[in-house]
Structure 1
Amino acid sequence: MQINPGPLLQAIDSPEDLKKLNRSQLHEICDELRQYIVDVVSVHGGHFAASLGVVELSVALHYVYNTPYDQLVWDVGHQAYGHKILTGRRDNFVTNRKYKGLSGFPKRSESIYDTFGVGHSSTSISAALGMAMAAKYKGEDRKSVAVIGDGSMTAGMAFEAMNHAGVADSDVLIILNDNCMSIDPNVGALKEYLTDISTSPTYNKVRDEIWNILGKLPVGKNFTRDMAGKLEASVKSVVTKSSNLFEALKIRYFGPIDGHNITKLVDTLTDLKKIPGPKLLHIVTVKGKGYSLAEKDQTKWHAPGLFDKVTGEIYKKKIDAPQPPKYQDVFGHTMIELAEANDQVMGVTPAMPSGSSLKFMMEKMPHRAFDVGICEQHAVTLSAGLATQGMRVFCNIYSSFMQRAYDQVVHDVAIQKLPVVFCLDRAGLVGEDGPTHHGCYDIPYMRCIPNLVVSAPMNEQELRNLMYTAQLANNNHPFVIRYPRGEGMMPEWRTPFEEITIGKGRKLKDGKEIAILSFGHPGNFAQAAIRELRTQGIDPAHYDLRFVKPIDEDLLHEAFGKYKKIVTVEDGTVVGGFGSAILEFMSKHNYQAEVRILGIPDRLVEHGTPKELHRECAYDAQGIADAVRELMKEKVSVLAG
């Protein structure tokens, strides 16, 4: 399907072309840009509502600033589609998030306009401040701008950056895009604070008068810029109930202004370019602006998949038989079952109640399940605090995002031997979100920590049983359960709970000459490979280890005692992961075997569908069968003869 941009947008191949438009045409280019995003995403998929909310801001920034010389940093990246289209990627935008196509996020290797790679939140202020400090050091008149959403502002890293920006005396502009949403509705005191600011009629009335007065004051020997700043702060403090948070950090605050008024945005940004030092512009926007259904249900339309742009119907796969649920939904419903049976069970997630499906428990038991905002470190230590009081806390964090809370896992949980259960959703290759979201590293970084149990279910029944085992009173260890994004294997998944002996795997099948050792969901790929191989006269054994720490040494003694050829399979990096654990066991016990390790290679894997990426990394069913055939090539050649 051919998707054509509007006449103005069709002529814009760079921000220089955008600057050729007169101000009266900016409303029209915003309309065309918004429509083009709707047209492309409805047919090709991708994130949706976030970019619609910053169309006017995207146009204004590239219209006013001299990008890419001026440095523009987008936080998270869900909101950067308009930016990509305006910076030479319009015609390739249909490849967004597709295998070998454009990344769904800003990416330095993709464009000189993408000044900083982002995929997770709250990094923009730190990065932009670093750029501003470098410009000052080199004597460059280069502007640095960070665009951060109010959801991302909840993270501690954003406050750390602002704390430094206030004293760094560098020319950085922070644009706070306030729409009361990240993926799910924002939570916490900061949301309430921003609401107070944006709805204060007195503050809004006086705001522009302050700017106008300060612009006309004589700044000279008897009236310094510092004095003007103090006057501004004093007047602002009179019309607000309490001191302005940002002003308290010595960051000049401007706003709030309407983020969909392109004329006001251009005028304001033009004025702010002339004001040196750290400053924050607070804009108020609507996530999903211009598409009414997205405005009404912003969580649903964050990334809706393919849809009919006219009717709003979201297309779903046609199914003829019962389908297995998503692993995250099994987690969410199982949490309710466990909590109903055990009043000590609680749930915590950092801003992912929908993605992790903890929302089910939050709706039914709001006093026992909590969204703490984009604050992974806090989520872990909060869980540890609850655990000291006897609570059985399931802390659900995406594998990639858990990296941010590693210190807390070590110091606040493992050292104190607190039985927090870490459910690492999105473990392995997650697909179209790409390398910023792939859960590649949790097996190595978790299995090296003393006192942790590290496990992975092969299917939904195993996930339920691992969750059940983790919350039992006789488990006194921190417990990691990693599982992939998306659909599992069992349409009839709601099975009775069974306790699993910690550190014990299972032998799924005996075989001849060669064994496959799998960890987690890729065990299903191994089973598919075995079915194919048996038609070729090759009969591998199959062991599902379940645990990488503690590892089932009895099962491994059996495998290495019977088989001299071993293939290991995991959905994690091959460096230091499950396969490495197998080699360590083999070395420790002086076994001799040919071992082939399959998993995520020691390089960054780009985006694509999970199937495409599993094939690329050669640990899908075909890759496993190929590895077995390679190890068994002498037998294959004999059979062929």
Structure 2
Amino acid sequence: MTIILEQIHSPEDVKRLDDKETEALCRELREFLIENVSHTGGHLASNLGVVELTVALHRVFDTWRDRLVFDVGHQCYIHKILTGRKDTFGTLRSFQGVAGFPKPAESEHDAFIAGHASTSVSVALGMARARTIRGEHYSVVAVLGDGALTGGLAYEGLNDAGESGEPLIVVLNDNGMSITENVGGIASHLARQRVKPQYFEFKKTYRRIMGVIPGGKRIYRVTHRVKTAVKKALWPCSMFEDMGFTYLGPVDGHDIKKLTYLLQWARQINTTVLIHVRTVKGKGYPFAEEHPNEFHGISRFQIETGEPICASGKSFSGVFGETMLKLAEKDPRVCAVTAAMQSGTGLDEFSSRYPKRFFDVGIAEGHATAMCAGMAKQGLLPVFAVYSSFLQRAYDMLLHDVAISGLHVVFAVDRAGLVGEDGETHQGAFDASFLAQVPGMTVLCPASYGELSSMLEYALFECSGPVAVRYPRGCEGNYRGKWGRGTHAVLRRGKDITLAGYGVMVNELTEAAELLEAEGISAEVLKLDSIAPLDYDAVLDCALRTGRLLVAEESIQEGSVGMRIGAEAAKRGICLKNFALKNLGNVFIPHGSVPELLAMCGLNGKGIAETAGEMCHDR
């Protein structure tokens, strides 16, 4: 029963609860979260771990004015429930429903969009500096998971923030990685003392007295240096204190009273503070506690058993993993690299069978790319398995460290194209454009499992220089063809219009051709296997034969394959009778199922057929 939760309509309602009621609210929030995510899917384990922390934040801060920056944003579900979205939470991650990440357009309580990790301290510091320059008064809090500390940007932000002296609170949610090792009885004793109310009250009173008595500030500085020296001699200083933070913790992240007190103290001391909070990922749901990785991002599941309602079948990621095993057995130079996405990219079995040739570098795509460059330079065959939207973070290293030297690194670009429910931050809408701009880059686009396997083998053993093999999330469509080692294939002959595309988009093109046939229009379907280099001769020959060309792709328009073909035709002085681009436009695509998003963008079979029909009737 959700007795307390039913009374919560805004953060102000949370502030009115006493300690006992707040603890009851946390229990009800867990029940509510498990019940709803079991129907919608989403990020469960990470949100179960931050229930008390999020409630404590809302007891202390006013997120309508104070700025609460999440990192990464998938741990924001409790925040959303407490800020007026409880009644619509059943639409989580569905088309036009509640987003799975913070979204300022959705609520004024969401300070900043956050779908990729390691950015929160930098963003929060920018907000704090803006507050100071504008002479305003509000708190700025960054909440980051320990996983975000595997990304280098987090340290850039921490380094600058610690030196800045800006009043800023960083809450480190440590649910698995030990940041500093406290050894021995003295260390344990000091850790206990640092979270006692008496300790903070003494510090606060001492600082206040020293601030008003003659010479007190100088005395305070001297005693502070002496205390720091003694502390360093007895207890190794945390790296955060070395950076300039006032370090508080570690503290039990499920003790709501202690969390509330620490947050209040951190706000009062008006300096750069880091609170080290230890939580249990999946807290309160045994299946998630025992298998936090499996319940990190999960589809709909049965609460009683923890089992998914629909068992996951074969997927492009799975086929990639299977193929990598075969290729690694064939050649001992083959290595697999991932950036904290071992399971998501299908490399679980590879990591077990070839542990010395498997490298998970954490949330550090730039480092992964540069490391692969070093591996390739010394004679290995590295394959970096990375989500399309995460590869964006490594663009500089791709250009500078891989491409300039022409090094043979293979990028297995997973989640290329629309990914669905994770929304704007995760749609693979840009890689087709930015990869093709890299000099010497080969970009292959399999449309089936069989093509993925053969293209990956070709990329490793028959190509030179950087190569990307890009494939979508999920399963293959009706097209089950095999790759003939060419740059293109005509899947269907026609005389009225050419429909061109790559990857699984060929399924929508084939459906469109069938719909057009029912209207008496003969459509040719051209599948592009390589989009860099692009076989312009083949595309333009087909277009000239039918007189009309429509290029459909799950890509942003600028720099798209369709725009490149149009530019090449203009350069050659070729005038097509009719030419159309069907793509994602120059906008960010929201969350929803892939079929819904394809329909929204006019990229499903029906939408493509409608545009093609208009082109053919325009004689």
In which range does the TM-score fall when normalised by the shorter chain? over 0.9
Partner of 2:266, secondary structure, is helix
Q: Do the aligned partners of residues 232 and 356 (structure 1) sit closer, same or farther apart at CA in structure 2, a change above 3 Å counting?
A: farther
Give the Å deviation of 1:309: 1.8
- One-letter amino acid of the counterpart of residue 451, structure 1: G
The question of 1:420 aligning with 2:405 is answered no
The question of 1:143 aligning with 2:139 is answered yes
Match in the other structure for 2:586 = 602
Instruction: Please give the residue correspondences for 1:534-613 in structure 2 after superposition, counting only pairs within 5 Å.
Output: 534-593=517-576, 594-613=578-597
Of 81-90 and 60-69, more deviation after overlay is shown by 60-69
Cα distance between partner residues in 1 of 2:484 and 2:250: 55
Of 122-131 and 483-492, more deviation after overlay is shown by 483-492
The question of 1:164 aligning with 2:160 is answered yes
Give the Å deviation of 1:208: 4.3
Cα distance between partner residues in 1 of 2:327 and 2:478: 20
- One-letter amino acid of the counterpart of residue 485, structure 2: I
- One-letter amino acid of the counterpart of residue 210, structure 2: V
Match in the other structure for 1:185 = none
Cα distance between partner residues in 2 of 1:538 and 1:453: 35
Give the Å deviation of 1:228: 5.2
- One-letter amino acid of the counterpart of residue 30, structure 1: C
Q: For 1:207, which of 178, 191, 200 is the aligned residue?
A: 191
Cα distance between partner residues in 1 of 2:567 and 2:408: 27
Cα distance between partner residues in 1 of 2:287 and 2:550: 50
Q: For 1:115, which of 111, 114, 123 is the aligned residue?
A: 111
Cα distance between partner residues in 2 of 1:476 and 1:577: 24
Give the Å deviation of 1:276: 2.1
Match in the other structure for 2:356 = 367
Deviation readout 1:429-451 (Å, 9 max, x if unpaired)? 11000001001111111111211
Match in the other structure for 1:47 = 43
Match in the other structure for 2:84 = 88
Give the Å deviation of 1:348: 0.7
Give the Å deviation of 1:369: 1.3
Deviation readout 1:379-419 (Å, 9 max, x if unpaired)? 10001010101111111111111111111111011111111
Deviation readout 1:556-594 (Å, 9 max, x if unpaired)? 242133121111111111221111121122112221111
The question of 1:456 aligning with 2:451 is answered no
Give the Å deviation of 1:200: 6.0
Match in the other structure for 2:492 = 509
Q: Do the aligned partners of residues 229 and 282 (structure 1) sit closer, same or farther apart at CA in structure 2, a change above 3 Å counting?
A: farther
Q: Is the 8 A contact 1:237 1:244 kept in 2?
A: no
Cα distance between partner residues in 1 of 2:18 and 2:109: 23
The question of 1:623 aligning with 2:618 is answered no
Cα distance between partner residues in 1 of 2:421 and 2:193: 48
Deviation readout 1:157-193 (Å, 9 max, x if unpaired)? 100001101111100111100011xxxxxxxxxx454
Give the Å deviation of 1:606: 0.9
Q: For 1:344, which of 333, 347, 352 is the aligned residue?
A: 333
Cα distance between partner residues in 1 of 2:542 and 2:593: 34
The question of 1:408 aligning with 2:397 is answered yes
- One-letter amino acid of the counterpart of residue 488, structure 1: E
Q: Is the 8 A contact 1:468 1:499 kept in 2?
A: no
- One-letter amino acid of the counterpart of residue 348, structure 1: V
Partner of 2:355, secondary structure, is coil
Stretches of structure 1 that go unaligned for 5 or more consecutive residues are 181-190, 636-641
Partner of 1:384, secondary structure, is helix
Match in the other structure for 1:638 = none
Q: For 1:292, which of 271, 283, 286 is the aligned residue?
A: 286
Q: Is the 8 A contact 2:104 2:112 kept in 1?
A: yes
Q: Is the 8 A contact 2:450 2:480 kept in 1?
A: no
Q: Do the aligned partners of residues 479 and 200 (structure 1) sit closer, same or farther apart at CA in structure 2, a change above 3 Å counting?
A: farther
Q: Is the 8 A contact 1:384 1:418 kept in 2?
A: yes
Give the Å deviation of 1:360: 2.1
Deviation readout 1:113-153 (Å, 9 max, x if unpaired)? 10011111111111111111122222223111100000011
The question of 1:152 aligning with 2:148 is answered yes
Instruction: Please give the residue correspondences for 1:174-253 in structure 2 after superposition, counting only pairs within 5 Å.
Output: 174-180=170-176, 191-194=177-180, 196-197=181-182, 202-209=186-193, 211-212=199-200, 214-215=203-204, 217=206, 218-220=209-211, 221-224=215-218, 226-227=221-222, 229-240=224-235, 242-253=236-247
Cα distance between partner residues in 2 of 1:521 and 1:270: 53
Cα distance between partner residues in 1 of 2:448 and 2:339: 25
Q: Is the 8 A contact 2:338 2:360 kept in 1?
A: yes
Q: Is the 8 A contact 1:214 1:232 kept in 2?
A: no
TM-score, with length taken from structure 2: 0.94
Cα distance between partner residues in 2 of 1:204 and 1:621: 64
Instruction: Please give the residue correspondences for 1:376-525 in structure 2 after superposition, counting only pairs within 5 Å.
Output: 376-472=365-461, 474-489=462-477, 500-501=485-486, 504-525=487-508
Partner of 1:423, secondary structure, is strand
Q: Do the aligned partners of residues 490 and 471 (structure 1) sit closer, same or farther apart at CA in structure 2, a change above 3 Å counting?
A: farther
The question of 1:24 aligning with 2:20 is answered yes
Partner of 1:274, secondary structure, is helix
Partner of 1:434, secondary structure, is coil
Q: Is the 8 A contact 1:427 1:439 kept in 2?
A: yes
Of 52-61 and 573-582, more deviation after overlay is shown by 573-582
What RMSD in Å do the two structures reach over aligned CA positions? Answer: 2.0
**Identity over the aligned pairs, expressed in percent?**
37
Match in the other structure for 2:70 = 74
Match in the other structure for 1:614 = 598
Q: Is the 8 A contact 2:412 2:470 kept in 1?
A: yes
TM-score, with length taken from structure 1: 0.91
Q: Do the aligned partners of residues 317 and 364 (structure 1) sit closer, same or farther apart at CA in structure 2, a change above 3 Å counting?
A: closer
Q: Is the 8 A contact 2:479 2:506 kept in 1?
A: no
